[in-house]
Amino acid sequence: MPIAPDIVAGVARRLAEHAGLELPTWVVEARAAARIAATGLAPGAYVDLIASARGASELAELIEAVRVGESRLFRHRSHIAILIDVIAPQLRARAKRSVRVWSAGCAAGEEPYTLAIVLARALPGCEVTIQATDVSADAIEVARAGRYPATALADVPEDWRDAFVRDGEDVCVLPELRRLVTFERANLVDGPMPRSCDLVWCRNVLIYFTPTARRRVIDRLVAATTPGGFVFVGYSESLRDIAGLEAMRAGDAVYYVRRERASTPALGTPVVRPTPPRTTPPVIPPMTTPPPMPVPATPPAEDVLVLRGHPNARDVTAELMARLGITGLARLVVDLDRADLLGDELAPVLRRARAAAGAAHVTLVLRATRAGARRWVARHGLDEEGPR
């Protein structure tokens, strides 16, 4: 049942005040409506409850409900390739005996375990420790178990699957790899954080924060990174204007290097970036990505989200929210042609995303040229648009 705009605004305000979250209106409305129904309260009474001390437990339930938490093993392969072909060789060249990693916003553990699997193989003889944090107690509980449905291996390359053992319908991360990761519940805005990290991995998290909270989180990510260390964020997130970081591109992906302390200006101040001195590049094994290059400053005016296989509503919602958070985006194309099966549950997701895109002044286009995709679009009353 729809709830009044002033109730949605009240819930959104409380999420921003307490957790620094800034979510699309349709997400807040849907999750708040479900929680209001679960408590049996009138909408106004619900807003009063979560604004009071006695409503702390319900506020935690609401945050759990709005938390996207979408993650996969070996997600975004280009970032994994950079980790193997660029970052690991640089860490080896520094003759490091130990490497500290922070997986911030780790969801159910897929990303920190991916890091553990890759780094354990790429840095033989090096002690790897990964601290993984997330605001969700439920997600942390799943992560600590290191146990996932067998379908979670879908994105894991065949030659990396020996990091898992089959147990019935599930797969488990090998114990020696699980021991490399410690999990802790923490709020990125003001919770505990590690220090002197060689690698900070925080992908598709910043897009859900208010501008003020986002800036605070970014400052904390930079502060947690040792000079010369590396920071990764999501494809739709940018740290190009952060004075303490240098943006680098490898292939179609961007990562960031923490500037040396001696030349690092105060965070948040403008900086004129000098031309870096010529250095002899490290010897890198046969690469799956080109060597790093300075990143262009102009954000893309258009982005394309390709749906493949049998996309589920939760994953598509998370990806749409991430893409709609791209600064300067004018047009988002959702390509339906590559999907093998489009479920009916995707229709309301795309309908709400189109409304959210309109509010953000972004044109959302559904690309459906194959007969099956065209029929699906027509059946669900979605305006069909082909490639332009």
DSSP 285-324: PSPSSPPPEEPPSPPPSEEEEE--BS--HHHHHHHHHHHH
The answer to whether 128 touches 101, Cβ cutoff 8 Å, is: yes
Q: Could you say which residues of the chain have pLDDT below 50?
A: 262-290, 296-299, 384-388
Rounded Cα distance, 107 and 123, in Å: 25
pTM confidence score: 0.61
Region(s) of the chain under CATH 3.30.750.24: 302-379
Structure tokens belonging to residue 80: 């994994």
* Residue 300, both tokens: 């893309």
**What are the start-end ranges of the H helices in 40-109?**
43-50, 56-66, 77-82, 88-93
Q: Give the Cβ contact number of residue 268 at 10 Å.
A: 13
Distance between CA atoms of 253 and 291, rounded to whole angstroms? 11
Q: How far apart are CA 336 and CA 341, in angstroms?
A: 9
Token pair, residue 327, equals 């600064």
Task: Tell me 87's DSSP state.
Answer: I
Q: If 0-12 CB within 10 Å is exposed, 13-18 middle and 19+ buried, where does residue 231 land?
A: buried
Neighbours of 290 (CB within 10 A): 12
Q: What angle do CA 175, 137, 5 make, to 5 degrees?
A: 145
* CA angle at 331 for the pair 326 and 332, rounded to the nearest 5°: 75
Amino acid (one-letter) located at 133: T
Do 289 and 82 meet the contact criterion of CB atoms below 8 Å apart? Answer: yes
For residue 381 the two structure tokens come to: 């009353």
What pLDDT does 282 receive?
40
Question: Where does the chain hold its CATH 3.40.50.150 domain(s)?
Answer: 77-294
Distance CA 101, CA 118 (A): 12
Phi-psi region at 8: left, alpha or beta (left = phi > 0; alpha = psi -120 to 50) = alpha
Q: How far apart are CA 380 and CA 351, in angstroms?
A: 10
From first CA to last CA, the distance across the chain in angstroms is: 37
Give the Cα separation of 167 and 328 in Å (integer): 46
* pLDDT number for residue 146: 94
Q: Is 315 exposed, middle or buried (CB count within 10 Å of its CB: 0-12, 13-18, 19+)? A: middle
Which residue type occupies 2?
P
Helix (H, G, I), strand (E, B) or coil at 86: helix
CATH topology assigned to domain 77-294: Rossmann fold (3.40.50)
What is the fold of 302-379? Transcription Regulator spoIIAA (3.30.750)
